Amino acid sequence: MNIRDLEYLVAVADCLHFGQAANACNVSQPTLSMQLKKLEETLGVQLFERNNKSVLLTTVGHDITTRARRILEDTKQLRLAAKAATDPFAGDLRLGIFPTLAPYLLPAFMPKCHEAFPRLNMLLIEEKTPELLHQLDTGKLDCTMLAMPVTDDRLDSVKLFNEPFVLAVPIKHKFATRRSITQAQLHHETMLLLEDGHCLRDQALEVCQAQGIGESESFRATSLETLRHMVAAGNAVTLMPALAAREGDAWVRYIPFKNPVPSRTIGLYWRKTSARTALFRKLAELTSREAALLFK
């Protein structure tokens, strides 16, 4: 049994297809099948149920695949630790970020990141929070930006910045001429929200429930840009993260809140077992500085 055998095992578990797994591992299907058969003989258990149409993991196969993933992740971290000893700020970095933050932070963040870490190759993955956490847990991501808090004893984190919300209203709305607003003044309003799975939806719901604000039952958006267009069409109001508010928007007015200002806290998360903690903390410092400039 060797590391390559474990990579074959995980590939088949992910693909549930020997041919696709062989392609993913850049080997022939007979080679992959033979090695996995030897692995089963070495372990003395059946890892897969095979027939002409499908491949399924056995119960013990699930358990051993989970352990194999941990071994592969530890092996990767061992290699990264050795590489980090020579240059901790070089190589690939797979960074996750969620959709209601990515389009508004990255244009300012990425140029500064390339300037600060010229030997770092940033690979960005944009997904909703549950998928980002899954990819972080399985080693597909090195670190990810998330709305805090996230409760997981396996993760380390550092706060990046607080982002206030503003109220987005149609230009003919009764609030459109206001220079500021309180949360209490939204009582009995109807608010447009994102669909399930977006952390911003949960944050907006907290405000709605606290202030007796109704949610629109006829529409849930898949993105902030869709929300913006629906507000512009005069359908209702919504909470918009400050980074997403567009100055000079012809059809939408963005109104700041008086204290208490609703907001979200953004943090950077990574596995405690990662060998790249020094890089993540430097990356967090850079992000915090850039965010402070954006909110001035």
- DSSP assignment string, 223-275: SHHHHHHHHHTTS-BEEEEGGG--TT-SSEEEEEBPSSPPEEEEEEEEETT-S
pLDDT tens sequence across 95-144 = 999 999 999 999 989 999 999 999 899 999 999 999 999 999 988 999 99
Q: Any bridge partners for residue 93, and if so which?
A: 122
**Residue-level pLDDT at 280:** 96
Whole-number Å distance between alpha carbons of 272 and 162:
24
Q: Percentage of the chain surpassing pLDDT 90?
A: 63
**Residue-level pLDDT at 85:** 65
Whole-number Å distance between alpha carbons of 77 and 130:
23
Whole-number Å distance between alpha carbons of 36 and 62:
14
Give me the architecture of the 3-83 domain, per CATH.
Answer: Orthogonal Bundle (1.10)
Residues 6 or more apart in contact with residue 262 via CB below 8 angstroms: 164, 165, 183, 203, 206, 207, 239
pLDDT tens sequence across 141-177 = 999 999 999 999 999 999 999 999 999 999 999 999 9
Q: CATH topology for 90-161+264-294?
A: D-Maltodextrin-Binding Protein; domain 2 (3.40.190)
pLDDT tens sequence across 230-270 = 899 887 889 999 999 987 788 999 999 999 999 999 999 99
Whole-number Å distance between alpha carbons of 105 and 181:
25
Whole-number Å distance between alpha carbons of 55 and 15:
9
- How far CA 236 is from CA of 2, 61, 174, in Å, comes to 59, 52, 11
pLDDT tens sequence across 46-96 = 999 887 777 899 999 999 999 999 899 888 888 877 776 677 788 889 999
Residue range(s) in the chain whose domain bears CATH number 3.40.190.10: 90-161+264-294, 163-263
**CATH number belonging to domain 163-263:** 3.40.190.10
| Confidence grade of residue 190 (pLDDT, cut at 50, 70, 90) | confident
Helices (H), the chain: 3-15, 18-25, 29-43, 59-86, 102-116, 129-137, 199-211, 224-232, 277-294
Q: Any bridge partners for residue 145, and if so which?
A: 268
Using an 8 Å Cβ cutoff, are 193 and 222 in contact?
no
Using an 8 Å Cβ cutoff, are 221 and 192 in contact?
yes
